[in-house]
Chain A
Amino acid sequence: MSHESMQTLLNANEEWAQNVIKGTPDFFTQSATGQSPKILWIGCSDSRVPESVITASKPGDIFVHRNIANQFHLNDDSALSVLTYAVKVVGIEHVVLVGHTNCGGAAACLKAAEDAAADTGAPQPDTPLTRWLSPLIALVQSLDLSACSASEALDKVVQTNIITQVDNICNSEPITTAWADPNAKKVTVHGWVYDLARGRIDELVFREAQA
């Protein structure tokens, strides 16, 4: 029974592929020759935020990196290699860092910060997940959430997280190099928030080279 969902997925892929060929017979053969997306999406792994579905995009449109809580850590080879490849090899023109409401990672960090403040005794275990979230926990601890309800606090953390990750991206080598080079292709960095309850993306910030 447990492989039923896999078979469903594979069947859906087969049906989708057949429909594409019916409408555009050479879509796949053309697609196989290369990619030239203009956008790099750095978003959350959350299943409710599939970038291509919510923007009605097709294969070839968006280069994608998704991780827990849409982080861009300046010491993370995974994110840095994606950004490097996207800017220098693929030639994308826009980097969109996309956070979303009701983010489980952000909620976990709020809880961790509350626990630390309440000093519940046991120290945080050192695991990949706690290490991954520690910059965001630190960010939470730097915010004044005393006057916020639980949901206001979560929204504030989600938004601040987006701005911080955008700052990190703007401080990264691929972006600072591109912005310092008058001959380089123009790259703009955007911070977006996806509202799960409305299905809409809102732009919070964008940054360009200081020309």
Chain B
Amino acid sequence: MLRATYIRGPTIFRSLFVLPSLRFPPLRNMSHRPIQTLLNANEEWAQSVVKDTPDFFARSATCQNPKILWIGCSDSRVPESIITASKPGDIFVHRNVANQFHLHDDSALSVLSFAVKEIGVEHVVLVGHTNCGGAMACIEAAKVAATNPSTSTPLTRWLSPLTALVRSLDLSACSANEALNKVVEANIIKQVDNICKSEPITTAWADPLAKKVTVHGWMYDLAEGRIKELVVRDSQA
């Protein structure tokens, strides 16, 4: 089983994968096993942190001061702190299906407000990723006629702006793979646009005394493990 281990010194919180061989857990009816594994791993992690930095938790409990807000996908393969080797306290995080930022969504808007106005983040990164299941679902949904609103579910409502975005793209000359990449990229740009139009950002950018906030659109390539910056937006100062 892959384990994240920590090395000493300044890189104490770097997660490395130390893997002699890949072993899969046996199929057994131990339904709480993943939970117990997680709790055991937490205990072990906490002990190793205390051993190397005895006052880490005591200091961490008093306040947080992250400079970055990450708005990303719920996809299990994109845990922001692992893929950026960040430690607790570094990144304020909002994750949802297909890394959306809808201008009518109180969940995302409250995170952005809190992050900009209370926490004082300096960078907002909107992060999409290749092979996004949400994007794939929207490509399929766009192929059929728009559904009757009375049959809408939270998931179909959630994905309807992205489905509309898919319909607006010309994917006729694209292979399935190219189409998915095009949708993932267009989605990132679109959500960055939405963030830039939101009240917390427009207010910060209009106020010469406000802390500087930059908005970034990033793409995480699952097959390579690398992040690529697609766009950056600053206030027009």
User: Chain A: residues with CB nearer than 8 A to chain B?
Assistant: 2-3, 5-6, 9-10, 12-17, 19-21, 23-24, 27-29, 31-33, 35, 37-39, 45-68, 71, 76-82, 84-86, 89-90, 93-94, 96, 101-102, 104-105, 127-129, 131-133, 186, 188, 190, 196-201, 203
Assembled-state Cα–Cα distance A186/B31 (Å): 8
Q: B75 touching A35 by the CB < 8 A rule?
A: yes
A-B residue pairs in contact (CB < 8 Å), sample of 13? A5-B68, A6-B214, A20-B16, A20-B225, A32-B77, A47-B64, A47-B88, A63-B74, A63-B75, A81-B154, A86-B74, A190-B35, A198-B57
B37-86 residues with Cβ-Cβ distance < 8 A to A are 38-39, 41-46, 49-50, 56-58, 60-62, 64, 66-68, 74-86
Q: How many residues of B contact A (CB 8 A)?
A: 95
User: Chain B: residues with CB nearer than 8 A to chain A?
Assistant: 2-4, 13-19, 22, 31-32, 34-35, 38-39, 41-46, 49-50, 56-58, 60-62, 64, 66-68, 74-97, 100, 105-111, 113-115, 118-119, 122-123, 125, 130-131, 133-134, 153-155, 157-159, 212, 214, 216, 222-227, 229
Assembled-state Cα–Cα distance A5/B65 (Å): 13
Distance between B43 CB and nearest chain A CB, rounded to angstroms:
7
Q: A62 touching B79 by the CB < 8 A rule?
A: yes
Distance between B108 CB and nearest chain A CB, rounded to angstroms:
7
Distance between A36 CB and nearest chain B CB, rounded to angstroms:
8
Q: Mostly helix, strand, loop or mixed at chain B's interface?
A: mixed
Among the listed A16, A45, A93, A94, which residue makes an inter-chain contact with B83, where contact means beta carbons less than 8 Å apart? A16
Q: B57 touching A13 by the CB < 8 A rule?
A: no
Given the interface contacts A28-B223, A57-B38, A80-B154, does A93 sit within 8 Å of B31 by beta carbon? Answer: yes
